[in-house]
């Protein structure tokens, strides 16, 4: 199982987890101490049940009041494309999940997300992208919307979108483009070091700084979002 291989590479010091369908939870040892694991595997289509499972686990971790570090595992094809889930207000369930992760951050828990396979659309946005930092494996697939779907929504011809994606990261899927846009902190291609322990230790020493979202600044430094900061400043100054 690819998930098992990657987990053992990331947590060589000790690992205990349980997978129920597409939902994973557990704990692991790192050089920074014990961390909690929660998230999705095997390209999960995130529905009401999975979103609430993640949210419940996050709230349980917060309730222990020990600032345990949390590692979110991200492997999702996005939200479940189900009429029943939409009628049950999947958007509100995702908002609840995002609020739970935000509460975790504000309660001082070091936390990060690791993209294993896919990170798509609302499934990624609702918890993975909410973490203090996002890391991705080199061969992971990251996108909010593919260009064909974007064309249908925006009414811009797909050929024009393909042309724009060559020069603008905001139009293009892919882990490198999300790195340029500041959404991904680092791309990992070598898992034989204690990457998670190092990241958790860094966060622990300066945890309050992670409450400020600096991804806009990263995007400007990496030339992935050229106008973002100027537009934000113009709105704030209006």
18 phi and psi angles, rounded to 5 deg: -135, 135
pLDDT tens digits in sequence order for the chain, 238 residues long: 588 999 999 999 999 999 999 999 999 999 999 999 999 999 999 999 999 999 999 999 999 999 999 999 999 998 888 788 777 788 899 999 999 999 999 999 999 999 999 999 888 999 999 999 999 999 999 987 778 888 888 899 999 988 888 887 777 788 998 999 899 999 998 887 799 999 999 999 999 998 888 888 888 888 888 888 889 889 999 8
Domain limits, the chain: 2-237
199: Cβ contacts below 8 Å, ≥ 6 apart = 112, 133, 135
The matching CATH number, chosen from 3.40.50.1970, 3.40.800.20, 3.90.226.10, 3.20.20.370, for 2-237 is 3.90.226.10
Rg over alpha carbons for the chain, rounded to the nearest Å, is 18
């Amino acid at each position: 199982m690819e998930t098992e291989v990657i987990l053992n590479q990331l947590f060589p010091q000790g690992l205990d987890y349980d997978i129920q369908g597409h939902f994973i939870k557990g704990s692991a040892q790192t050089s920074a101490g014990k961390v909690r694991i929660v998230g999705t595997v095997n390209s999960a289509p995130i529905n009401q049940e999975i979103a609430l499972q993640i949210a419940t686990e996050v709230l349980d971790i917060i309730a222990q009041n020990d600032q345990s570090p949390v590692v979110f595992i991200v492997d999702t094809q996005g939200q479940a494309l189900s009429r029943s889930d939409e009628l049950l207000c999947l958007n509100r369930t995702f908002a609840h999940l995002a609020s739970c992760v935000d509460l975790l951050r504000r309660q001082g828990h070091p936390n990060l997300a690791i993209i294993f396979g896919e990170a798509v659309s609302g499934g990624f946005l609702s918890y993975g992208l909410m973490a203090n930092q996002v890391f991705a494996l080199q061969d992971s697939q990251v996108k909010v919307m593919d260009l064909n779907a974007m064309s249908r929504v925006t009414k811009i011809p797909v050929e024009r979108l393909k042309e724009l994606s060559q020069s603008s990261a905001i139009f293009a899927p892919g882990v490198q483009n999300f790195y340029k846009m500041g959404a991904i902190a680092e791309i990992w291609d070598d898992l034989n070091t204690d990457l998670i322990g190092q990241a958790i230790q860094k966060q622990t020493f300066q945890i309050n700084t992670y409450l400020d979202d600096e991804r806009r600044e990263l995007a400007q430094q990496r030339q992935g979002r050229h106008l973002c900061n100027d537009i934000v400043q113009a709105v704030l100054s209006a």
